[in-house]
Amino acid sequence: MPKAKEPAETAADGGREQPETDAERRRRRAQFLRELHEAKALRDRVQPRRARAARMRQAMRMRTFRW
């Protein structure tokens, strides 16, 4: 279940006076990456054949990669 947004993250707060700190940016990025990973895992569970094909394509790319 999505968490309620903090006051600093609301759409009405688009024009903040101070720039966001590195810690805020890293926190938002970490949250985004967690949600992205969760979405990919869900897609893999509901479409196993497509997920397997994607894994095979990725493995082929890795085998043919030149250092």
Q: What is the pLDDT of residues 6-45, one digit of tens each?
A: 555 555 555 557 788 999 999 999 999 999 999 999 988 8
Residue 48 is predicted with a pLDDT of 87
Q: What does the chain come to in residues?
A: 67
**Angle formed at CA 36 by CA 13 and CA 55, multiple of 5 degrees:** 160
Instruction: Tell me what percent of the chain is helix, strand and coil, each rounded to the nearest 5.
Output: 70, 0, 30
For the chain, which residues make up each domain, given as ranges? Answer: 24-67
Under a CB-based contact definition with an 8 Å cutoff, are residues 51 and 44 in contact? yes
Query: With a threshold of 0.75, does the pTM exceed it?
Result: no
Neighbours of 24 (CB within 10 A): 13
